[in-house]
Amino acid sequence: MSTTPLTVRGAELLKEELTRLKHKERPAVITAIAEARAQGDLSENAEYDAAKERQGFIEGRIAELESKLAQAQIIDPSQIEKDGRVVFGTTVDLADIESDQRMSYQIVGEDEADLKENKISISSPIARALIGKSVGDVAVVHAPGGARQVEILDVRYL
């Protein structure tokens, strides 16, 4: 069984979603199914079909979240040895060599990735190029738009 890396915050978010699905969404869809059944003929009952479809989605998502949490390796970046290297969970400040554009990303698990929040997946091209590098190193990022060079300005263990 392989493990899935998650930050502490990422694990909390998955647990919150699981709790919401189990204690709010699941009971609500069961009620909706019971109400649709009470209307009579199920063969032409759109509400029943929609509720059953929603139930299938909820049950599938619950199973998926339980599996992910069971396989999770929760990593707290603040507890990692601070040796200046880029590792899972660290926040990295970068500068594009060509354009001098500055950016900052936290390297997180696939389920946590959100570019709007500057969180990139460990499996993304930029994260793969940065892992193991230190402040002052130049990494070559092979992205769909071509290769780019970025310099690591700072590595933070937040």
State the pLDDT at residue 1: 56
| Local structure of residue 4 (DSSP, 8 states) | E
Q: State whether residue 136 is helix, strand or coil.
A: coil
Q: How far from 98 is each of 4, 93, 149, CA to CA, in Å?
A: 35, 16, 7
State the pLDDT at residue 4: 84
pLDDT in tens, the chain (158 residues): 578 899 999 999 999 999 999 999 999 999 999 988 888 777 777 888 899 999 999 999 999 999 999 999 999 888 888 888 999 999 999 999 989 899 999 999 988 999 999 999 999 999 999 999 999 999 999 878 889 999 999 999 88
CB 58 within 8 A of CB 73: no
Tell me: do 97 and 141 sit in the same domain: yes
CB 7 within 8 A of CB 74: yes
State the pLDDT at residue 13: 93
For residues 26 and 6, give the distance between their C-alpha atoms in angstroms, rounded to a whole number: 26
This prediction has a pTM of 0.80
Tell me: do 55 and 89 sit in the same domain: no
CB 109 within 8 A of CB 14: no
> What tokens does 41 get?
């003929």
**In degrees, to the nearest 5, what angle opens at C-alpha 16 toward C-alphas 117 and 65?**
90
**Total domains present in the chain:** 2
State the pLDDT at residue 74: 92
State the pLDDT at residue 29: 95
The label of the residue with tokens 């189990």 reads 22
Tell me: do 135 and 98 sit in the same domain: yes
Tell me: do 82 and 70 sit in the same domain: no
Q: What is the domain extent for residue 34?
A: 4-75
Tell me: do 90 and 150 sit in the same domain: yes
Query: What single letter denotes the amino acid at residue 70?
Result: A
Tell me: do 71 and 127 sit in the same domain: no
Helix axes 8-20, 46-71, angle to 10 degrees: 150
State the pLDDT at residue 44: 76
Q: How far from 70 is each of 14, 19, 65, 77, 88, CA to CA, in Å?
A: 11, 15, 8, 20, 19
Tell me: do 11 and 26 sit in the same domain: yes
pLDDT in tens, 122-143: 999 999 999 999 999 999 998 7
Tell me: do 50 and 95 sit in the same domain: no
